[in-house]
Amino acid sequence: VLFRSEILRWDREWLGPMLRLSLPMASESIITRLGFILFMRIVSALGEASLAAHQIAVNVESLSFMPGLGLSVAATTLVGQSLGANEPELAEESIRASLRLSLLMMGGLGVVFALFGSHIAALFGSTPEVLSLAGSAVRIGALEQLPIAVWMVTAGGLRGAGDTRAPMYGTLAGTLLFRVPAVYLFAILFGWGLNGVWLGTAVDWTARAALVYALFRRGGWKRIRL
């Protein structure tokens, strides 16, 4: 039984580790929200048809996130357990095994998007212009599937090791250095419209995946002490 005095008790011993883990994750969420505002400002500037098509494509692509999210949670749990048992090599293999499964499943869905993107988008029903734009966006979204798989699982594994800074750095670099500039360049300056938005997003995910995987390969996360 928990008493109110125990719940409200200030425990300085745990405060430091909690802040070290939570502040980077909070910062990552803030960066993501700010980047989303800038990103959607660009998409909105393309007009109502592009905005509607973008939302349809996002809804379609969200189906592919489920395997990555599930395996990300699995990697977080397995890495935490393995490092807690002082088995860093097992922790690394847990990430690699989860990553292989995620690449297989999300890669398969990427092939489906590339081949049948227009047909899937048509299930949502809309004007021919919107469905044409959405179908093209879904097909381009196939390029994102493997990088997203790498990002989700690897970032999840690093968080399980207590390394919440690496995913924050990936989000910061991907959002501010790649997504917003690339989307603006492709969609507005080059005039590629919604296709440019999704190509820019693919650049973002690829950059995030490359950065977080490089940090994973360095192995510093194995030596973190909470």
* pLDDT exceeds cutoff 70 at 2: no
- pLDDT tens digits, residue range 180-200? 999 999 999 999 999 999 999
* pLDDT exceeds cutoff 90 at 203: yes
Task: Establish how many alpha carbons lie within 13 A of residue 89's alpha carbon, considering only the half-sphere containing its beta carbon.
Answer: 0
At 15 the pLDDT is 72
Confidence of residue 171 (pLDDT cuts 50, 70, 90): very high
The residue among 179 and 13 whose pLDDT is bigger is: 179
| CA 170/CA 143 separation, integer angstroms | 19
Percent of the chain with pLDDT over 90: 82
Tokens representing residue 25 in the block: 């994750």
Confidence of residue 70 (pLDDT cuts 50, 70, 90): very high
Tell me what the pLDDT averaged over the chain comes to: 91
* pLDDT exceeds cutoff 80 at 16: no
At 1 the pLDDT is 52
How would you class 126 by CB atoms within 10 Å of its CB: exposed for 0-12, middle for 13-18, buried for 19 or more? middle
Tokens representing residue 94 in the block: 């847990």
* pLDDT exceeds cutoff 90 at 45: yes
- pLDDT tens digits, residue range 97-138? 999 999 999 999 999 999 999 999 999 888 999 999 999 999
At 11 the pLDDT is 67
Torsion of CA 202, 167, 160, 14, to 10 degrees: -160
Best CA proximity match to 168, nearest among 2, 20, 1: 20
For the segment 143-163, the average pLDDT, to the nearest whole number, is 95
Best CA proximity match to 129, nearest among 43, 47, 45, 192: 47
Radius of gyration in angstroms for the set of CA atoms belonging to the chain, rounded to a whole number? 20
Torsion of CA 199, 203, 205, 207, to 10 degrees: 180
